[in-house]
Amino acid sequence: MITAAGRTIRVGLLVLAVIALPAFTVAGFSRGPAGLAAVALGLVLVASFFTVSKVAVSVVARRMRAMVLPTALGTYLIKIVILGALLVTLEGSSAIDLAAFAWAVLTGVLGWLGAELWVATHTRVPFYDPEVFRARDDSRRDTLNT
C-alpha cells in the first residue's frame, strides 16, 4: 500500500521552507543576487520534481497498480533529462551561481528524503492487504466446515 501523497508533499514542502531560510541568508551574503537566484531555482526544482513524481505515482497506484514501476521510472527519466538540459543551459551563466544551485539541490533533496522517511515511519500502514487476508481466511473456514 502506498502512503498518501498529500501528507508527504506537505511535510516535504515544510522542510524545504525551513531549509530555504538559512540557505537564502548564506547564499545572499556569500554569493549575492546570483546565489539567491540559484537557491530559489534549486529549491523550486526539488519541490516540483518530488511533488510531480509523488502525485503521478499515487494516481497510477490507485488506478493501475501494475504500472507503478514504469511510472516511477518514467518520471525519474524525465527529471534527469530536464535537470541535464537545465545544467547545460545554465553553464557559463552569470545570473545563477552554479555552486549555490548545487548546494541548494543537494540540501533540498536530502531534506525531502528525510521528510519522506519521517512520514513513512510515522504512518500506520498495514503490512498486508486486508482484502486478500479476509479472502484467505474465508476460504480456510470453508475448507474446515466441509
Output the pLDDT for position 74. Answer: 95
What is the distance between the alpha carbons of residues 90 and 68, in angstroms, rounded to a whole number?
Answer: 33
Residues contacting 140, CB < 8 A, separation 6+: none
Q: Read off the pLDDT band of 3 (50, 70, 90).
A: low
Single-letter residue type at 65: R
| Contact between 57 and 145 (Cβ < 8 Å) | no
Number of domains in the chain: 1
Q: Per the structure block, which three cell numbers stand in for 130?
A: 486486508
What is the distance between the alpha carbons of residues 81 and 87, in angstroms, rounded to a whole number?
Answer: 10
Quote the pTM value: 0.78
Tens digits of per-residue pLDDT, 57-113?
Answer: 989 988 888 898 999 999 999 999 999 999 899 888 888 999 999 999 999 999 999
What is the distance between the alpha carbons of residues 38 and 23, in angstroms, rounded to a whole number?
Answer: 10
Residue 28 is part of which domain span?
5-145
Q: Per the structure block, which three cell numbers stand in for 77?
A: 527519466
Q: Which of 107, 126, 137 is nearest to 42 (CA)?
A: 107
What is the distance between the alpha carbons of residues 30 and 84, in angstroms, rounded to a whole number?
Answer: 26
